[in-house]
Structure 1
Amino acid sequence: MKHPSASVRRINYLIGHLKLRSYLEVGVARGDTFLEINTDKKYAVDPKFKFEFEKYKDQKQSFFEMPSDDFFSDHCFNLNEKFDLIFLDGLHTFEQTLRDFCSSLRFSHDETIWLLDDTVPT
């Protein structure tokens, strides 16, 4: 039996403890973190998912296979969602992480929590 990663445990702790309901993850890759998150509504963004995401689509999980810049500029407006927790785990560059953070501000509320994975300054 596979045990959840430290990231999954921490994120699920925050969701449970703070009663968070909506989650956005940018940079999902194989879905190792995303698929283990327990919340009411989850959104995944990745330019090329590395798993069969179609079989996980349901009312609780939405998948957007596109660059995050496209998601934030074109598709996110149709969601009418203010995210409680945003996990930025994309390209791991300072520039892209900053751009994702700034773009996600429009879809946040006063109590939104951001988590940033490792970034590499240039």
Structure 2
Amino acid sequence: MHQTFQYIKFLLKSTNQHGVHSPFVYNLATKCFYDRTVYKDYKTITKYRKKLLKNNTKILVTDLGAGSQIMKHQERSISQMSKHAGTTLKRAKLLYRLNRYFKFEHILELGTSLGVATHALSLGYPESYIETIEGCPTVSKFTIQQFKNQKIKNVSFIVDDFNNYLKQETLNPKPRYDLIFFDGNHQKEATLHYFESLLKTIHNDSVFIFDDIYWSNGMTEAWKTIKQHPKVTVTIDTFYWGFVFFRKEQAKEHFTIRV
């Protein structure tokens, strides 16, 4: 009910590129969000996801975050996970275009899962170096093997709890990440903690993307808090994702755009 109500509000409030007066956001919308080019890599992205959807292998899954709203059993099939919890094809293609557009050199992904998003990002700009963290060892082991089969070499897999990783003294406090994709724990307190912890690793042109900002009341509250943070200047609400920018040269402004 929360998601349905929020989606109705989103539809009433949202616009397309024609309602955007910021040149930066207008260019992002027209040249990336609404880019209708059929890239050759889309076939590879589609093939990877279809392969997962047909895989009936069952593995034991340990949920360290909010867990799935649909899958309640610990033993799950790859096909079931891909269908109900994996990144959709539409969003995977958008991630591909985003990396093609921005050319992120260093990416951090919180929540590897089956690697659909990771795979799309790696294809979008092959020069990217991607660190992706997964808390469940069995899921990570499966995904690592898929990437070996695909011969993808610009991804570094980390098996760890997000909190443990963020506590590491080796986490470089200097500006480091061009993109951080938050897609592993859909709880308010955890999301805000990760956000605050990773602020020290960004620079002026860094981008944060938060998945499922209307997952629950808590996630929606977290999104509202993030938007008001003094370091945040521009945000874009696409309903399923929340984009955050830290560009000091821009006045604080929030956009709601249909993608």
Alignment TM-score, normalising by the size of structure 1: 0.82
Match of 2:95 among 11, 15, 18: 11
**Does structure 1 conserve the Cα–Cα contact (< 8 Å) formed by 2:107 and 2:130?**
yes
Q: Tell me, yes or no, if structure 1 residue 91 matches structure 2 residue 185.
A: yes
Shift of 1:98: 1.1
**Does structure 2 conserve the Cα–Cα contact (< 8 Å) formed by 1:82 and 1:109?**
yes
Match of 1:104 among 173, 182, 198: 198
Match of 1:43 among 109, 117, 131: 131
Equivalent AA in structure 1 for residue 131 of structure 2: Y
5+ residue gaps, structure 2: 1-42, 50-88, 219-259
Any idea what SS the aligned residue of 2:178 has? strand
Shift of 1:19: 2.1
Rg comparison, structure with higher value: 2
Any idea what SS the aligned residue of 2:116 has? coil
Any idea what SS the aligned residue of 1:82 has? coil
1:48-87 to 2 correspondences below 5 Å: 48-49=136-137, 50=139, 51-53=142-144, 56=147, 60-74=154-168, 77=171, 82-87=176-181
5+ residue gaps, structure 1: none
**Does structure 1 conserve the Cα–Cα contact (< 8 Å) formed by 2:182 and 2:210?**
yes
Cα distance change on mapping 1:90 and 1:65 into 2, 3 Å: same
Q: Deviations over 1:28-56 (max 9, x none)?
A: 11112112212320011111151242674
Cα distance change on mapping 1:27 and 1:86 into 2, 3 Å: same
Shift of 1:111: 0.8
Count of paired positions = 122
| Cα-Cα RMSD | 2.7
Partner of 2:57: none
Any idea what SS the aligned residue of 2:171 has? helix
Q: Which structure carries more strand by proportion?
A: 1
Higher relative contact order (Cα pairs below 8 Å, separated by 6+ residues): 1
Any idea what SS the aligned residue of 1:110 has? coil
Alignment TM-score, normalising by the size of structure 2: 0.42
